[in-house]
Amino acid sequence: MQTVVLLLIFLVAVVYASVGHGGASGYLAVLSLFALSPFDMRVSALCLNLLVSGTAFVAYRQAGHFDPRLLWPFAIASIPAAYVGGSLKVPSYTYSWLLGMSLLVAAWRLAGLPREGVVETSQRPPHLRVTLPLGAGIGLLSGIVGIGGGIFLSPWLLLARWADAKRTAAVSAGFIWMNSAAALAAHLRHQHLDVLRWAPWVLAAFLGGCLGSYLGARRFNSLLLCRLLAVVLLVAAVKLVSRGM
């Protein structure tokens, strides 16, 4: 069973890192199939998220796709909101509903990724009256559930034509890293982090993140893999929502 978990975490990291995401929703989908507490699920997913999103950010930034003007208008509100969300204690059924809905969004996001280059970007930068409330809302939900929020930010960047696929991936990776760090800091105020327990997961995520971020930034757009993973997320989301009913 441990081998299966490691393989799934590796594959999640490869696919998510290739599109600039940390993979928390994917890790939560995997971990939801096992008997882990909500705290263990959130903290382990956030730790893996930090590692993989950081790796993806470095790869996309080195490839010249990062634009800080698209990151900070969202991040300045999302970081404190993610900390607040991570400090909240929600009932297990509420957590199941929130996570299930988040996984449904992740499945939609992955299944609907456009092919690289089809999104024609606009020269208009996002206005603060849009980015501040949007960033705060994404950060709060991300902190509660234990994800970085890239699955919510990326569709906005693409559909509003603020960025193409590569720039969206770069900005999302940085956004995810900062939100994950804030939420993790809040969670660790309540309980201790057992790093050695998750060391094999960390190694699997790191290797997958390195491979996926290199392929995504330099080689290809993993559209087919993303859509296959969307099916896995959809199954996990239905399972979680059913548990919360």
Pairwise CA distance, residues 178 & 135, whole Å: 12
- Write down the pLDDT at residue 133: 95
Q: What is the structure's pLDDT at 71?
A: 93
Winning range, highest mean pLDDT, from 94-98, 175-179, 227-231? 175-179
Task: Indicate the range of 15-29, 92-106, 188-202, 207-221 predicted with least confidence.
Answer: 188-202
pLDDT at 150 over 70: yes
Cβ atoms 151, 28 nearer than 8 A:
no
User: Does the pLDDT at position 70 exceed 80?
Assistant: yes
Number of domains making up the chain: 1
Q: Which of 38-47, 74-83, 119-128 has the highest mean pLDDT?
A: 74-83
Measured distance CA(94)–CA(102) in Å, rounded: 12
Q: What does the alpha-carbon distance between residue 174 and residue 70 come to, in Å, rounded to a whole number?
A: 10
Q: In which domain, by residue range, is 61 found?
A: 2-244
Cα gap 121→100, rounded to integer Å: 31
Mean pLDDT, range 149-160, rounded to an integer: 81
Q: Which two tokens stand for residue 176?
A: 């995810």
